[in-house]
Amino acid sequence: MTIPYARQSIAGEDIDAVVEILKSDWLTQGPAIDRFEKALAEYCGVPYGVVFCNATAALHLACLTLGLGPGDRLWTTPNTFVASANCGLYCGAEVDFVDIDPGTYNLSPAALEQKLEKASREGKLPKVLVPVHHSGQSCDMAGIRAVTEKYGVRIVEDASHALGARYQGAMVGSCRNSEMTVFSFHPVKIVTTGEGGAILTKNQDLYERLKLLRTHGITRNSALMSHEPDGGWYYEQIDLGFNYRMTDIQAALGTSQLKKANEFVIRRQQIAGRYDQALAQLPLSVPFQSPDSLSARHLYVIRLHQEKARQTRRHVFDSLRSAGIHANVHYYPVHLQPYYRKMGFKEGDFPQAEKFYSEALSLPMYYGLSEADQETVIGKLHEILT
């Protein structure tokens, strides 16, 4: 028996929702897409939602619709999944990173401010910034906005971890401090569609461009065409888009899952609370919880005090693995990936993210984690660390 670090939670009503679509007229490009988009937008308190085949595609189109291209720069955190940075490269832009705050593990507004000042002097300001809400806890978005505003940097929140999270009284996804917010519905995330992603925005122009680019840049809206439609069959390609669509099968699953998002997050909060309390005496740091936010608790990341514990992270990880507990590590800093090292990034470039990586361990955290399984994890950690 193994305990994974994350897994989906699929119930009878989710299965029914999918089966209903399989029996219907539309497997893709049907009404279930619209329903999921509206439900997401309403849940986050924002006018527009667009769903995609995955969050990586969503990040790509978020960057494209903001006009990111060759000669431009995108900045993000090194403490993220590679997709948060790759989206800049897809557009032909240069990618750079801003180190994390050692307290929150999220992109540091102070480091950002310094880097922006320097970039401004050198004429190398970024066009787009992608802050990532690591583990499900919002970045200090007010701080980030305060330091980016005067430079006109556009902000895309990568909230792949943070569906159901709150920040300063609003849902993450409400785009109070950003142009767009991206969610992922991969099975390890808060709610799932198998594969899937979304962008939420307040901006109608961005919304319309996102929908256009999601489907090849093709329109059936005669107002956008260069000449009168030849007939009812007629469409025009007016831009170079992609097929980044989600299926109706996935959207129906998403709508069904989204109804349980709050319940999922509440349960994750309870699991986190139990870990916080049970691990307090061990040589490790439990995750920081900012008083002005509610984390979606996608991940529960401890930082090991390896000297005090006289154990390496590697040893703790391996010991958990051999006990059937599949802990994980989030993340190997993106700038140290071989593909990024080829661009000149190296060890020491972002010391806080590198230190975090050397100590971090993601413990099992998911809606269906039983009390007994959580006690097994806690017991094993005590055994290894004392």
Ligand X SMILES: *Cc1c(COP(=O)(O)O)cnc(C)c1O
User: For residue 52, what are the β-bridge partners?
Assistant: 197
Q: Is 137 in the site for ligand X (CB under 6 A)?
A: no
User: Which residue stretch of 79-87, 264-272, 307-315, 349-357 sits at the interface with ligand X (rule: CB under 6 A)?
Assistant: 79-87
Q: Which of residues 192-251 bind ligand X (CB under 6 A)?
A: 197
Shortest Cβ distance from residue 81 to ligand X (Å)?
A: 4
Nearer to ligand X, 54 or 256 (CB): 54
Q: Is 357 in the site for ligand X (CB under 6 A)?
A: no
- Secondary structure class of 129 (helix, strand, coil): strand
User: Which residue stretch of 35-43, 53-61, 364-372, 377-385 sits at the interface with ligand X (rule: CB under 6 A)?
Assistant: 53-61
Q: Is 254 in the site for ligand X (CB under 6 A)?
A: no
| Separation of CA 27 from chain center | 26
User: Which residue stretch of 26-34, 76-84, 227-235, 365-373 sits at the interface with ligand X (rule: CB under 6 A)?
Assistant: 76-84
Member of 160, 177, 256, 374 binding ligand X (CB under 6 A): 160
Question: Prior bond to 331 cis, omega within 30?
Answer: yes
Which residues neighbour 331 within 8 Å (Cβ) at sequence distance 6 or greater? 78, 79, 80, 81, 357
Q: Residues 366, 4: contact at Cβ < 8 Å? A: yes
Q: Is 106 in the site for ligand X (CB under 6 A)?
A: no
Q: Is 158 in the site for ligand X (CB under 6 A)?
A: yes
Nearest to 200 by CA among 43, 41, 52, 53: 41
Nearer to ligand X, 54 or 250 (CB): 54
Nearest to 86 by CA among 264, 334, 352, 363: 334
- How far is 119 from 279, CA to CA, in rounded Å? 42
- How far is 284 from 320, CA to CA, in rounded Å? 15
Give the residue carrying structure tokens 């401004």.
Answer: 120
Shortest Cβ distance from residue 134 to ligand X (Å)?
A: 8
Q: Is 79 in the site for ligand X (CB under 6 A)?
A: no
Q: Is 297 in the site for ligand X (CB under 6 A)?
A: no
Member of 8, 9, 54, 193 binding ligand X (CB under 6 A): 54
- How far is 243 from 213, CA to CA, in rounded Å? 8
Shortest Cβ distance from residue 53 to ligand X (Å)?
A: 8
Site size with ligand X, rule: CB under 6 A = 14
The pair of structure tokens assigned to 221 is 């809206």
User: Footprint of ligand X on this chain (CB under 6 A)?
Assistant: 54-56, 80-81, 83-84, 132, 158, 160-161, 184, 186, 197
